[in-house]
Amino acid sequence: MIRVVLVDDHPLAINGIGAWLDAAGRFTIAGTAGTAAGARELLESLDPLPDLVILDIALGGENGLAVIPALKETARKRKAPLPGIVVCSMYEDPFLVQSAFDAGAGAYVAKSADIREIVTAIDAVLAGETYANPAYETPARQWASAGLSAREREIAAMVKRSLSNKQIAVKLGISIRTVENHLSHIYVKTNTYSRNELAEL
């Protein structure tokens, strides 16, 4: 059986995905968590590590991608293989898709995806491959060709989600001035001149 950890702050999502995995007959739920901190504690406590982690990005006020570096460190300390990581998010923004892959995810699927696509993503990751919906590929290549850093892509994604500079600063633990500096670089690299233009990309 493939051991899976589910990380999502919505009980309905946990229950829905969990029920489908149980019904598939190939998976067993090794644990669930609703926060990034809870996920880090759970993964640290599991021995062996799970085969697969299905992870949401928005965990309350936390960025779920922060779980990935901690998981990598746990695997490194134990000299264990890194579990497959599937990001399953309500956001379908290419900035976030690229950020997920930069962090170490093996697949990115939208929560609106049908079950066949989720199965494709899971099977790809378990086979050591990567998966993202082809619709994300061209925009993601555009952001990569623009030369945006991982932090700049993260900030751009938050702007596209209508977060203010203050909200972005709080979420990332940086100053508002630092956010403004990043935005200045983002505008130059994407040939935009305002938050509204950036949000429309």
Is the pTM of the predicted complex or chain greater than 0.85? Answer: no
Find the mean pLDDT for residues 182-198.
87
Does residue 45 sit in the same domain as residue 98?
yes
Residue 38 in this model has a pLDDT that exceeds 90: yes
Domain that holds residue 115: 2-138
Which of 138, 156, 190 finishes a domain? 138
How many independent structural domains does the chain possess?
A: 2
Residue 143 in this model has a pLDDT that exceeds 70: no
Does residue 118 sit in the same domain as residue 169?
no
Does residue 53 sit in the same domain as residue 123?
yes
Residue 155 in this model has a pLDDT that exceeds 80: yes
Does residue 127 sit in the same domain as residue 46?
yes
**pLDDT band per the 50, 70, 90 thresholds, residue 163:** confident
Note the pLDDT tens digit of each residue in 46-88: 999 999 999 999 887 788 998 999 999 999 999 999 999 999 9
Q: What is the CATH number of the domain that holds 101?
A: 3.40.50.2300
Does residue 134 sit in the same domain as residue 182?
no
Does residue 6 sit in the same domain as residue 44?
yes
Does residue 14 sit in the same domain as residue 57?
yes
Does residue 7 sit in the same domain as residue 65?
yes
Residue 5 in this model has a pLDDT that exceeds 90: yes
Q: What is the DSSP string of the chain?
A: -EEEEEE-S-HHHHHHHHHHHHHHTSEEEEEEESSHHHHHHHHHH-SSPPSEEEE-SEETTEEGGGHHHHHHHHHHHHT-PPPEEEEEES---HHHHHHHHHHT-SEEEETTS-HHHHHHHHHHHHTT--EE-HHHHHHHHHHHHTT--HHHHHHHHHHHTT--HHHHHHHHT--HHHHHHHHHHHHHHHT--SHHHHHT-
